[in-house]
Amino acid sequence: MPAAKRTRRKRTYEFWTDQIAGKVTDRKKFLYTDSRMPKFKEFVVKTSASVSGVLHMGRLSDTIRGEAVTRSLLDAGKRAKLIWVAEDMDPMRKIPEGVPASYAEHIGAPVTDIPDPWGCHRSYAEHHLSKYFETLDEFVALPMKKFSMREEYKRGKFNPYIKKLMKAVVELVEIQNKYRRSPLDANAWNPWTPICKNCGKIITTRVTGFDGRKVKYKCADYAFEKFTAKGCGHEGENDPLKGEGKLMWKAEWAAQWARWKVAAEGAGKEYQVPGSAFWVNAEMCERVLGFPAPVPIFYEHLIINGQKMSASVGNVVYPADWLKRAPAELLRLLFLKDPMRARDFSWQMLPQLFDELDDMERVYYGRKKLRDERDAYNARRLFEIVSLKKPARTYTEKVAFSTIAELAKTAPQKGRTGFVAKKVKELGLAKSITPQLKKNIEERIAFASAAAAGKPAAASKQRLSDPEKEIVRKLIDAIERESDAEKLQSEIFTIAKSGGMRLPEFFKMVYQILFGADRGPRLGQYIVDAGRKEIVGKMKAALEN
Ligand SMILES: [Zn+2]
Ligand SMILES: [Zn+2]
């Protein structure tokens, strides 16, 4: 196998997940104290998701990245495991899309304690989690034990840490105040948030006193951005060791790390700055709980067509939607390629992602050479980490997704795979149709038709300007002359640069003509694969619009 076993230190370059794994295993001391690192029998990587929002595919980024680091630890010969935690004590903040207005009365209650609006599960949280769990494990290769914070508190699993934290209120406040403009008052701040015994809400309770054991609280209105959680006015007492409440986030994260002996965890890049919840918890964890802060896996967030994914924008993609249109590996590729680059996804990128993965696979099996050895190493390692199964011993050359999608359009409904496979052979895109290739073609046809069902990709009827028409004529000429994909690719670039258009505008125009989309695959190869005649036909049609 080309991607050799990773022997750290000997390599001059390392894939980023291996680097983080190295940081995890090489730690000698705590960050904030002089304590020496304890011996870890096993390294735990934690991933989680809040259940108060929509569990869309962006939530998988934390899990996929955490899993990849766990795999790096395992590949380095360490014992390691991945755990998944539902942050399900978060209050409901607004009436979610599709939920009756009467749910306003539940705003401010933990999502685990709110009835299922659809009536099929025990709670609102369970309804969403069950849907998420149907596909979550399909995006990772490692088993994940799943925990619920609500259950953890109820079962007293956090009690040892709650006790320590409640004794250290002064220290917890000091740690936070290092980074605060308006300091907290240790007499008024408490790490515990009780659930109101009378109305069941958690956001409305204000701690008014603490006797070293129990907290006193009053239930009062709490204003979110759009909605107000109505307090019931109840005044009562709450024993934190009885599990009816939760720790504040600054204290809870620390407790989670100590409770599960977490060695690494993902966090959005906004947590990188000093004074963020990550570092505040890191310090609390080390100074108060005596457990070393985990190594962070920082990353950029996923946006979709330039926007944050959200139910109110209506651009939510669920993990199940993804699996209809692309293999899980492609989403892994999107998240694992370069964690600190912002990912702006649109479905139009799919063909490109397929091509990227195909290319990495070629590099992995030595079918494609990259000039830079570091790039080649990274491509091979990324391919291993992106793959959910151990890569097959023998390589199967793939036919570009966009080509399969094009061929499938002309195929009869019945026997599509056979039809497309035959075309692939006729066009000389594969020497022979092996069972593996046939299976791959079949999968790609299924993904392509799911995409077509989602949005008919009709080529655009845009009108070209005269200078644009001139460029298209040059392209037609080049395509008719040149049958070699690489040469055609460089000719296309020459035409693009000579035409007086900005490169992005040029490619957008071509992709619009071919797919009615702003993005698409690498053109040289695509045009040769799809059949030059057909492409020329589309371009000529565009000239006549
Ligand atoms: Zn339900
Ligand atoms: Zn209340």
Q: What's the pLDDT score for residue 462? A: 66
Q: What's the pLDDT score for residue 454? A: 63
Q: What's the pLDDT score for residue 255? A: 98
Distance 82 CA to ligand 1 centre (A): 27
Distance 96 CA to ligand 1 centre (A): 14
Distance 430 CA to ligand 1 centre (A): 48
Q: Are 39 and 25 in contact (CB under 8 A)?
A: no
Within the chain, which residues score under 70 in pLDDT? 1-11, 454-462, 517
Alpha helices by DSSP H, listed for 266-327, are 277-287, 319-325
Q: Which one of the ligands is nearest to 235 CA?
A: 2
The contacts of residue 402 (CB under 8 Å, 6+ apart) are 351, 354, 355, 515, 520, 521, 526, 529, 530
Q: Which one of the ligands is nearest to 202 CA?
A: 2
Look at residues 178, 144, 126 and name the one whose alpha carbon lies nearest to residue 287.
178
Please give the Cα distance from 245 to 277 (Å, whole number): 20
Instruction: Using CA atoms of 315, 319, 321, 323 in order, give the dihedral in degrees to the nearest 10.
Output: 140
Please give the Cα distance from 353 to 450 (Å, whole number): 16
Distance 51 CA to ligand 2 centre (A): 22
Q: Are 218 and 206 in contact (CB under 8 A)?
A: yes
Backbone angles phi, psi at 239, to 5 degrees: -95, 110
Q: What's the pLDDT score for residue 534? A: 81
- Fill in the DSSP letter of residue 91: B
Dig out the tokens for 484 from the structure: 């070699």
For the chain, percent helix, then strand, then coil, each to nearest 5?
50, 15, 40
Q: Which one of the ligands is nearest to 236 CA?
A: 2
Distance 200 CA to ligand 2 centre (A): 6
Please give the Cα distance from 291 to 277 (Å, whole number): 17
Name residue 402's amino acid: S
Please give the Cα distance from 346 to 313 (Å, whole number): 15
SS3 letters across 257-325? HHHHCEEEEEEEHHHHCCCCHHHHHHHHHHHCCCCCCCEEEEECCEEECCECCCCCCCCCCCHHHHHHH
Three-class SS state of 195: coil
Q: What's the pLDDT score for residue 4? A: 47
Q: Which one of the ligands is nearest to 219 CA?
A: 2
Q: Which one of the ligands is nearest to 232 CA?
A: 2
Q: What's the pLDDT score for residue 500? A: 80
Distance 104 CA to ligand 2 centre (A): 14
Name residue 155's amino acid: R
Distance 123 CA to ligand 1 centre (A): 7
Q: What's the pLDDT score for residue 12? A: 73
Distance 128 CA to ligand 1 centre (A): 7
Count of all residues that appear for the chain in the document: 545
- Residue-wise pLDDT for 406-452, tens only, equals 999 888 878 899 999 999 999 999 989 999 999 999 999 999 998 87
- Fill in the DSSP letter of residue 305: T
The angle at the Cα of 535, spanning 531 to 538, to the nearest 5 degrees, equals 145
